[in-house]
Amino acid sequence: MSRFKIGVLADSFRLPPREGVSKAKELGADGVQVYAVRGEITPEGLASAGRAEFRKFCESLGLEISALCGDLGGHGFERAAENPAKVERSKRIVDLAADLGTRVVTTHVGIIPEDPEAPAFRAILAACRELGAHAAGKGVTLAIETGPEPAAVLRALLDAAGSPGVGVNLDPANLVMVTGDDPVAAVATLGAYIVHTHAKDGRKLRPCAAAEVYGAFADGGFEQLEKRMGRLFAEVPLGEGQVDWDRYLAALETVGYRGFLTIEREVGADPAADIGRAVRFLRAKLKG
């Protein structure tokens, strides 16, 4: 399993971008993922010289940029009327990724319906096809994050999109916390579409509907999502949740995934300590 690399979502430290990147290096990461929807590291915040400088800064620390996070929030691409503006901004984030030397932009696309004729499915599909064509032309993949729907439903959308510019960011904790989907089975279902992963762990405490969880986040942001935490599910440090890491990592190896395990820590009073433990946890697993 030594072919995996360990990354950190720099924003998990709740520090300014460069401080977060430096902290990831200090804790022994191989790379970083960076949010690209607000603040400095955005298409609007970085002109050409700034992009070159930030890329050089990461390289000077010996860190790869594993991915940008291009999640625009709201209901993803479920609502066709909102998509022209969202698709256009997502294209600019893809352009930023190409300039920064990363080949992945992760995002949530909304809750994908099982019915391929549902208006939301068709809206998401149209957006993914347009963005996939643009991303492929830049050598970038738009990686849809798992969570709101079972892996089989996401696979149906990916197959329908039929674009090399659309793939998967597999977050095992999202699957266990909300849908109750088995991350090991999800790896087999999504296979070669997986281009990036989040290393996160969690526990499902009671049954919940994806619309309740992701709808609350779409309408009220993380503050509303936190109200569901502790009642419906809990994000916990790596190794303390329901993700079977030995089987999960073996499954990734089996399908030929060779990319980043990027640690994401959305809660907790001391994210740096939790991330440091997560790096050590993964290093130990990868040596096994």
Residue 1 confidence (pLDDT) above 50: no
Averaged pLDDT score across all residues of the chain:
94
The pTM score is 0.95
Residue 267 confidence (pLDDT) above 80: yes
- For 137, 152, 182, the CA distances from 212, given in Å and listed in that order, are 36, 20, 20
> In which band, very low, low, confident or very high, does the pLDDT at 223 lie, cut at 50, 70 and 90?
low
User: Contact 257/264 with Cβ under 8 angstroms?
Assistant: no
- For 71, 91, 105, 136, 270, the CA distances from 131, given in Å and listed in that order, are 13, 7, 11, 8, 37
Q: Which of 1, 2, 7, 3 is nearest to 197 (CA)?
A: 7
Residue 221 confidence (pLDDT) above 70: no
Q: What is the DSSP string of 112-144?
A: --S-TTSHHHHHHHHHHHHHHHHHHHTT-EEEE
Domains identified in the chain and CATH numbers? 5-287 (3.20.20.150)
**pLDDT of 85-108, one tens digit each?**
999 999 999 999 999 999 999 999
